[in-house]
Structure 1
Amino acid sequence: MDERKRDSMIAYLRRRMEDFGITPDDLAATLAPEPAAGRYRSAHGESWSGEGGMPQWLKQAISAGQSIGHFELSSGVVSGSSLHARAVTGADWKNDPFAGSPLARTSSR
């Protein structure tokens, strides 16, 4: 990529981040690798990797009718991230090169 294209893309990204109130810290938190603590997590912070015996907290939740998928961590989404979607009037998503990519996804957890 030539230097002008690179500079242009950086300027575009800075403008879009400013439009949505995204800080560099928000972006870093979103792109950080997910902790290897587990594949499933409860609301109380208990986790399970999916290997070995199923923990009691998850057995109880499933027995109570909850789906195991409810506790599954989404790949590429950092739980507790400070990045949240912000409504911006007049946002034009059809020209956004990141729409549908991991950079466009946020978590409301």
Structure 2
Amino acid sequence: MDERKRDSMIAYLRHRMEEFGIKPEDLAAVLASEPVAEKNARYRSATGDSWDGQGEMPQWLKQAISAGQSIDHFELSAPPAPTLQPKKRVDWKNDPFAGSPLARSNEH
């Protein structure tokens, strides 16, 4: 999301919070009180129901499995850590076409 869209969204949310009398502290309190199970979820449905894999399997997951869906379909996986490849440095010092019309032909 670019910076302008982000700023616009923040302004919109602040306006709506003022309109409904919601203070930033109220929002922070709600976010802090989220159940730990949600944060440690191992399985999640399309509707946002989650299960940490401990205890009895929830009804939504039992129903999906009995309907033929694999439990693996609902398993959350940690996103792979991006591996940043260093950009290849190009040495233009010895480029025989540097500055010529041929070098600029690919620029758009």
Report the TM-score when normalising by structure 1. Answer: 0.39
Instruction: Select the structure with the greater relative contact order (CA < 8 A; seq sep ≥ 6).
Output: 1
Report the TM-score when normalising by structure 2. Answer: 0.40
